[in-house]
Every structure is written in structure tokens, then in C-alpha cells.
Structure 1
Amino acid sequence: MTMLPLLPHLHPDGRWRWVATGAAGGLGLALAQAPVAWWPAAPLGLAVLAGIVLRAPGRSQALAGGIAFGVGAWLPVLGWLYSGIEPDHAAWFAYGAPTLVIAAFAAGPAACSLVAHTLHARPALTACLLLPALWAGTEWLRQLGSFRFPWAPLGHTQVEAPLAGLAPLIGGLGVGLLTVALGGAIALICLGGCRTRKAAALSLLAILAAAELAARIEWTRPAGAPLRAALMQGGYAGSEKFDSDGVVSALQRYAEFTLHSRARVAILPETALPLLEHELPPGYLDVVERRAREQNRDVLLGLFRRTEDDPRRHHNSARIVGASGAQTYDKTILLPFGETIPAAAILRPLFERIARVPMLDAVPGSRLQPAPVLGGIRIGLRLCFEDLFGDAAREASAAAGYLVVLSNDSWDGSDLPMHQHLPAAQMRALEAAKPLLRVANTGWTASIRADGRIDAVVPPHQPAVLETTLQPRIGITPYVRHGDAIPLGLAALAFSASLSALPGARHGRARDARSAA
């Protein structure tokens, strides 16, 4: 925000000043991401990007400012990618691969800045329609392809902000779009003329008022009796989870928890049992299942299981045993370079020289798996990386009484992934307007209300049990019904409206009118 008044005074040839301004705005945006999670920093940082688009004298300055903004925004957020690698072999790849990921993320703001500046016709349309539409498009593209990695999207910074009230309508992608629009309005208030400032202020207030009204709508309603659940955080770091001592300790700790819990539902993290199912001690699951059935309880746990057609490959799975019957869910969206390697023929030999990641030969499960039943209630179940894709499991969320996320956010050398991943679960709860239970290996394990607020958490990095009670809900929000078609449609309308103000578009309409006459 403090950088905006400087924009009019930047010398046209002083490209480095535009770089400095962009970097400052990007760093401001990074403050909105966890663990700082100061949500006003997102629209304020984006106001700087909008100011660059509006005031840069040329494309090169707009591009330079956009690149600096992207690096400033994403280097602090994704810097954890440099930890946990072994650079002794192929150091160029060890440091080059994370750098390439950060560069790919930074290319989004850079492209938005360049394209918005090139198509700039009217300040209000550019800042509040064109730039938000472009930003939403770049975020959506990160969900596609075999290298997809939609980490820390903009909308997740607003899970406890006023705009969160609109998540059941437009989802996390739409909330991110409106966050950019707020930034554009702030830029216009700081840089525009009197009439422009008034219009921008009214637009800002209108967006916030719409969010407030939407937050008062009860999109879903309570159904049935409250459910008592116990969530077990094992506390095993990634470096110890798969060694022999860690495996034995995990089997003992989780068995004791499942056998002695009295909650209707007991839930363990993703891959809580760090073995293939056939490698478990004989009778291990049978004892857990028998005890749960006798006490009319259910246990949900994570494990690996061999695929049916290739014993060398495996699924990352969740297993339910107990009163609701034996059920298995196989993870459908796998983490690149954590569970599978894209372009494996080329990249796997290089990757194995710089990192030691166990269980890399995972196979995605079928998209047609039935929604599991846990505690006698149908649930929407996601395993870790899957909860970054709001549009992917809408059918399960529609039929669910509550949502469950099993996660394993232990990353050697950094806690940032743990903090940055929690808002994804909050956004999924907001989008569906249903409570969510999140169980993680090292944290954060939390109970989240239907409004996205955290009801209870346990401290990270230690074994702990969180006992909580939730109220199942039924109903379907507009976002669950239509998914990303809503925010993408809004982005398309905003893009079209902004293009309509271009000189060529106006001249074309005038020619058409004369021809019709």
C-alpha cells in the first residue's frame, strides 16, 4: 500500500524501480499465506500489481514488475522445496528443479501483468475485471496436467476473511478472483481521479456487502444426532516414519489408540500404517475390526495396498473397519514426486539421485469409487494432496454428512507445508458448508466447522488425540452443484467485458451499427 503513491513518480527508464515495487508487492502478498496468514496483505499486495499494470510506461516495465512480484510472492511460500534434498549428486538438478517450480508459479503474475498492460483500455475495467480474470485463469491452469501442483492458491488466504462468505457460491477460485478485484479497487482509490476513486470505493463496498449477505445464508441444515470422533496424530517425522523402529512404534501406538478409544469414530492419518497391507503383522487388522464391531464403532486408517494387476505397484488407501462394514478408498490424485514421478523414464533417474522418497510407485484409484460410510454417515473423503482440488470431489461432498481429510504433511527441514496446507481443508469445508475432520501425521490435526472456522486443534509434532463432536449436515451449495464452472464463467465474463472497451472493439461495433443502418 505504501508503494502505491510512488508509482506516478517512477522514471520511465528506471526499470529497476518497477522491479523493486513489484518485489515489495509480492512480499506483501506472501504475508497473507500461512503461517503469518494476515489476510489483508493479499488485496494490499495485489493493489501494487494493479498499480504497476496501470502506471507502467511500457510493456518491458510491466513485465519486469510482474516478474519481480511473482518472485517476491512465491519464493517465501515455496522456499521449503529446497529442504529435504541431497545435493551431493546432480546438484544442478537438486537446486534447479525447485527453482523451476518457483519460476513457473512466478510466471503467472508476470503474464497477468504483461497481458493486462497490453490490453489496458480503461483503468477501472483493467484493474477490477481484466486482471482478476487473468489471475483466475493462471490459477486454474495449475490444476491441469501430470505436473499439476495448485499449492497455496490465493483464495485460501481468505478462509477467515469477509470474502469467505462467498465460498459456498463461487469456491476458492472465485474468492481468489474477487481478492484480486479488491486489490484493483484499492489501486484505483490510491491512483485514480475523483470519479474513479468513488466508483472503486463503491465497488469495494459492494463486494464486501455481498460477502456479508452470503455469509448469513444457511446453505445446509443439521441432520441427525451429533457424532463423537477421536482423531489420532501420531507425530512421526518423515525421516523416521519408514525405518524399522518407526514402523514398530507406529503399529503399537495406533493399535493401542484404536482398541481403547470409545468414540463412535476413530480416525488415523494418511499412511498411518507405513506398510503394504499384506506386510502387516498377522491378524493386526482383524483384531482392530473385531473390537470396533463389538463396541459398535468405526475405525478409519491409512495404509498401502498392492494393486490387483501389478504386485510391484500399490495404492495409497484408506480403510474403514467396524460397525459400518469394511470399505476401502484409493487415492485418486497423486502428489508429483511424492507418490509418483511424471515423465518417469526421463526424470526418475535424476530424481532418485537427489532425494530418497519411499513408496514412489503409487497408482491412482478409480474416479468411480462409492462414497464411504463412517459412523453410519456417508462422508466425503480426501487423502492429503486431493484436498487442493475443490472441483474434483463435488459428488462425494454433495452426498456427505461431513468431510474427512487424512494427511501426511511431514517435510524434512521445514514446517511451512504443514501450515500452508491447513487452509485448504478450511476452504473445502466452506465450499460444501459442512464440518470437516482433518487428521495429520505431524500436524495440523483439527476439527473444522461448516463455516470454515477451526473448532479445535492439537499441537504439531507430538503424539496427541483430539476428541471432538460434530453435527452432520445435509444440503448442496451452489459451488458443490456447479463447481469451477461458476468462477471460470465469472472470469470469462470479466475478460469479455474488459475487452469490449478496447478501441478496436468500439470501432467494430460502430461499423456494425452503420452497416445495419
Structure 2
Amino acid sequence: MKRQDTAALLLGAATVLGFAPFGLFPLPLLTLALLFRMWRKAPTPRTAAWLGFVWGLGFFLAGVSWVYVSLHDVGGMIAPLAAFATLLFCSYLALFPALAGYLFRRLADNTPRPLRDAFLIAGLWTLAEWLRGTLFTGFPWLALGYSQSPPSPLAGYAPLLGSYGLAFIVALLAALLGFGWRRFWPALLVVGVIAFGFVLRGIGWTEPVGAPLRVVLLQGNVPQSLKWDPKRLSLSIETYLRLARENPAQLTVLPETAIPLLFDEVPREVLRELAVGGETLLGVAVRTMQGGYANGAVALQPGGSSQGYAKSHLVPFGEFVPPGFAWFFDLVRIPMSNFTSGPPRQPPLALAGQKIMPNICYEDLFGEEVIRALPEATLLVNLSNTAWFGDSLAQPQHLQIAQLRALETGRPMLRATNTGMTAAIAPDGTVAAVLAPFTRDALRVEVRGYRGITPYGRRGNGPALLLALLACLATLRGRRKSL
């Protein structure tokens, strides 16, 4: 491997330190600035694409190595095959920064122009990330904008432009640093963008509504290896009943598939006991009208009535079988791996005086899907089971993703998880309270619902994508004029 390739690989791996749990949010500006300089100096578009691929390989192998844990440690796939599958997956993800590098070097002329090149590269990077988050149901994990959760001053842009808009800003600033840090106008623009982020952080886009609500979020910490063992069913039931009894509240929230049964198979006395002290939101699989089953959340109320939510954005290979891949499930042990998706638009649940919109595990990666419940929803609740990923970076990374969803919507986000990280996130994206991962405990918090709507909540990803497109088109138009 050439020295430049090694540098790109290490820069990609180092960029992961900008994300949770490390939180070195200025670091991606530096690592991307160096990558973009490599692209600018690359002799051909193919060389730039290769550098982008190598950077992406380092980035994703370091950042989503927990895929190996889910396949081998938990799923039971043999180690060599799990390692190869992880490498293949990360190689696929690395194609997107490679695409951005190729197009940049292909479209930029040979005369360096810091401002124009910076806007082109920001637009291309943003569109490549959006493509990664869309193709084949999407995988926007470690999207660049997530690195700028609070306390980053750039977090102030999230209610305006969402995570893809943040990606555009980070890529723009990185390119300005890489191409024109010695020049006045690029340096001034960097300072101005960061300063305006501080101003935006002080704006409250939404306002509280209703009385404070006492909530308890339960974290059972039931090992994945035991959870689906029929002989250990009592372990899950007894764990959550004890936590609920010891921590009464107006609203009790249990994580995704907290009780590993279909809802109609759960003993009625268990449901009654869970709902005795107040109202309960239970993560549990539910039967569908078509005869299948959905990954769901059921709201239990003391009178016996219930409302439900069915997860609509399913995880390929984890919750449904992509066409032609039935053989994959002969290699791993994944219980309940063929869920039916729920409808894309579902009404919030009326619970404890609030309108609560659940999202289940992976669904909170997709900001434009979460905002479908706005402005009706006053409170967001995520139910997750990340025991599949062991003691890895997945838990703090997922919490950071939830911080962006709170910022984008101007709503509190509550997270009830099996193994971590169970937390309460304020509308400004700060983590108000969190349980230590891999502990059996209950998080007691007091929250208020919020009403109103942020600019992102109203328009979604459209403005960020339009900004990216305009940045690319303006650059191309300027290039044609100079020819």
C-alpha cells in the first residue's frame, strides 16, 4: 500500500473519534480537510475515487465493526465468514465517499479555486451521504452530521437543515480549511458559519405544553443469548415486572421486544400488572391482519384498552429477508427475522395526557420519517434492543443519532433499551439523563411535551438536498463560463 493510501486509511479511522463516545467533534473538519486536499491533488478521477474508497474503508471498519459482533458473537456465524461479510459491507459503504471523490476530481478544473471547489465538494459529499441513506432501504449510520451533536456549535443548524444539512456545512468548512485557510474570504466564512451556529443554538423553535410527566424507562439487560430461549422466558417477564413494581410512574416504557412473545401470547395477568401503576408502552411483536407479525409497541392503560404502533422501516437481514437471500438465514441465528412492515404514516398514541410517537430501534436513523408525526406528536419515544451488537460503539453512536432527532423536531426523545443506552434527551439535543449500559436499572425522569414545529420538521431533507444540488450546479455553470 502506498504512503498516500495508508494516510487515507488512517484518516478515515481517525474520523470515528469525532463521533460518540469520543466526542472530538472538531476532528472531522481536520481529517476531511486533509482528504479533500488529496482529492484536489489527485492526478486523475480514478485516483481520487480510490483515495475516497480507502478513507471510507478505514472509517467504516473502525466505526461499524459491531456488525461483526452481531454476525459472529451473537448470530453464531463462523468467524472467517463473519469477518468477510463485515469487510464486504464496509466496502459497499466506502463506495459512497469514493463516488464523491471521483465526481469532484472529474468536475473540478485544474485551476484551484477555494470557494468554488469547497461548495462543489460539500454538495457532492451531501448527495453521496443521502444516497447511502436511501439505496436498498438506506444505511445512514455515521452520517457526518451526527458528529456535530451538542456541544458542537454547529448543532444549531440541525433544526433548520437536519443531519444532511449539517453534513453539507461540515464538508464545506473542511474544504475551506483544506483549500483556502491562508486566504481571507474562506477563513472569514468559516468563522461566520461557526459563529452563526452559536446564535442558532439559542433559539427555541418549540414550546412546552401540558403538565410535567413522570416517566420511568426500564433497562432489563437481558442477554441476547438467553432472551429467545423458551426456557428463559420467565427471566424477561420477571425482570421487567420487578423493575415496574419498584419504579411506579405515570408512564412506564419497556424496550423493543421486551417480552419475547407475540402480544396475544403474553399472559393477561402480566399485562394487567404492568399497567397497574399508570400507563405503559410495551415493546412486543404483534400479529398483523394478513397473518404475519410486526415489530410493535403497544400502549397499555389501566382500564384494559390498548393502542398500537407497528415498525414500518425494517432492517434488511435482521427483520426481513431480501429477495434471493434466504440462504443467509441458514448461517446465522436470528429469531423472528421475517417481520411485516407497518404503514408509513401512523397516528401518535394518546398516553398520559401526551401524544406520543414511538419509533423502534433503527427507525430513528431516518429523520424525514420521524417528522411525519409532526406537529401532532408532543413526545418521541425510541424502543431499542442493541444487545445484538454487544459492548461496542453501537450504543453511544445510537444515542447520538437520537440527539439529532430531538434537535430536528424540537421534541424530547426518550429511549428505553434492553442493554443501553437508556436516556432522556431534551429538545435542544442535550442528554438530560442516561443509564450506564449493561446494567439492570430504571431511569426515572420528569419530562414535558412540546408543541410547534421546526423548519426541518416542516420541510424535511428538501432544503439540504436543494442546497447541495445548487452548490454543484453553480460550480458547473461557473466552469462552463470559464471555458
TM-score scaled to structure 2, two decimals?
Answer: 0.93
2:398 is matched with which residue? 421
Q: Are 1:27 and 1:45, in contact at CA under 8 Å, matched by a contact in 2?
A: no
2:301 is matched with which residue? 322
SS of alignment partner, residue 71 of structure 2? coil
2:128 is matched with which residue? 138
2:285 is matched with which residue? 304
The 1:88/1:232 distance shift into structure 2, 3 A limit, reads: closer
The 1:397/1:270 distance shift into structure 2, 3 A limit, reads: farther
Per-residue CA distance 1:375-405 (angstroms, 9 max, x = gap): 1111222111100000012131422222111
1:487 is matched with which residue? 464
CA distance in 1, matches of 2:10, 2:133: 27
Structure 2 matches for 1:10-29, cutoff 5 A? 16-29=2-15
CA distance in 2, matches of 1:125, 1:189: 8
CA distance in 2, matches of 1:117, 1:126: 13
1:98 is matched with which residue? 86
241-250 vs 110-119, which moves further:
241-250
1:466 is matched with which residue? 443
CA distance in 2, matches of 1:156, 1:76: 16
1:515 is matched with which residue? none
| Structure having the higher Rg | 1
The 1:445/1:89 distance shift into structure 2, 3 A limit, reads: closer
| Residue 181 of structure 1 pairs with residue 162 of structure 2 | no
Q: Are 2:221 and 2:438, in contact at CA under 8 Å, matched by a contact in 1?
A: yes
2:58 is matched with which residue? 72
353-362 vs 253-262, which moves further:
253-262
Shift of 1:174: 0.6
The 1:233/1:397 distance shift into structure 2, 3 A limit, reads: farther
Q: Are 2:384 and 2:415, in contact at CA under 8 Å, matched by a contact in 1?
A: yes
SS of alignment partner, residue 308 of structure 2? strand
Shift of 1:433: 1.4
Aligned residue among 336, 353, 378 for 1:376: 353
Shift of 1:126: 4.8
2:341 is matched with which residue? 364
SS of alignment partner, residue 211 of structure 2? coil
Shift of 1:95: 3.6
The 1:140/1:75 distance shift into structure 2, 3 A limit, reads: same
Aligned residue among 140, 150, 164 for 2:155: 164
The 1:271/1:475 distance shift into structure 2, 3 A limit, reads: same
CA distance in 1, matches of 2:77, 2:105: 43
CA distance in 2, matches of 1:206, 1:269: 42
The 1:460/1:413 distance shift into structure 2, 3 A limit, reads: closer
Aligned residue among 141, 147, 150 for 2:140: 150
Q: Are 2:77 and 2:332, in contact at CA under 8 Å, matched by a contact in 1?
A: no
CA distance in 2, matches of 1:468, 1:95: 41
| Residue 332 of structure 1 pairs with residue 320 of structure 2 | no
Q: Are 1:159 and 1:452, in contact at CA under 8 Å, matched by a contact in 2?
A: yes
Aligned residue among 248, 255, 266 for 1:269: 255
456-465 vs 65-74, which moves further:
65-74
Per-residue CA distance 1:133-187 (angstroms, 9 max, x = gap): 1111111112324452221211111112111011000001111111111111111
CA distance in 1, matches of 2:17, 2:245: 43
Whichever residue aligns with residue 166 of structure 1, its letter is Y
Per-residue CA distance 1:12-35 (angstroms, 9 max, x = gap): xxx823212322321221211223
Per-residue CA distance 1:414-446 (angstroms, 9 max, x = gap): 422112211111000000112111111000001
2:118 is matched with which residue? 128
217-226 vs 141-150, which moves further:
141-150
Runs of at least 5 residues in structure 1 that lack an aligned partner in the other structure = 1-14, 508-517
TM-score scaled to structure 1, two decimals?
Answer: 0.88
2:365 is matched with which residue? 388
Whichever residue aligns with residue 328 of structure 1, its letter is G
Whichever residue aligns with residue 90 of structure 2, its letter is I
CA distance in 1, matches of 2:159, 2:137: 28
1:37 is matched with which residue? 23
| Residue 221 of structure 1 pairs with residue 221 of structure 2 | no
1:248 is matched with which residue? 234
Whichever residue aligns with residue 367 of structure 1, its letter is P
Per-residue CA distance 1:40-86 (angstroms, 9 max, x = gap): 11111110121112222333432332222111211101222122435
Shift of 1:97: 2.7
Aligned residue among 322, 330, 334 for 1:342: 322
Q: Are 2:146 and 2:404, in contact at CA under 8 Å, matched by a contact in 1?
A: yes
Per-residue CA distance 1:243-273 (angstroms, 9 max, x = gap): 1354211111212333453311111111111
CA distance in 1, matches of 2:101, 2:173: 16
Whichever residue aligns with residue 288 of structure 2, its letter is T
Whichever residue aligns with residue 232 of structure 1, its letter is L
Q: Are 2:244 and 2:252, in contact at CA under 8 Å, matched by a contact in 1?
A: yes
CA distance in 2, matches of 1:323, 1:396: 25
Q: Are 2:126 and 2:468, in contact at CA under 8 Å, matched by a contact in 1?
A: yes
Whichever residue aligns with residue 116 of structure 1, its letter is F
Q: Are 1:239 and 1:412, in contact at CA under 8 Å, matched by a contact in 2?
A: no
455-464 vs 82-91, which moves further:
82-91
Per-residue CA distance 1:101-152 (angstroms, 9 max, x = gap): 1011111111111110111134324542111111111111123244522212
CA distance in 2, matches of 1:279, 1:54: 61
SS of alignment partner, residue 64 of structure 2? helix
Whichever residue aligns with residue 267 of structure 2, its letter is P
Cα RMSD, aligned residues only:
2.1
Shift of 1:488: 0.5
| Alignment length (residue pairs) | 477
Q: Are 1:182 and 1:204, in contact at CA under 8 Å, matched by a contact in 2?
A: yes
Q: Are 1:169 and 1:479, in contact at CA under 8 Å, matched by a contact in 2?
A: yes
1:6 is matched with which residue? none
SS of alignment partner, residue 362 of structure 1? coil
SS of alignment partner, residue 317 of structure 1? strand
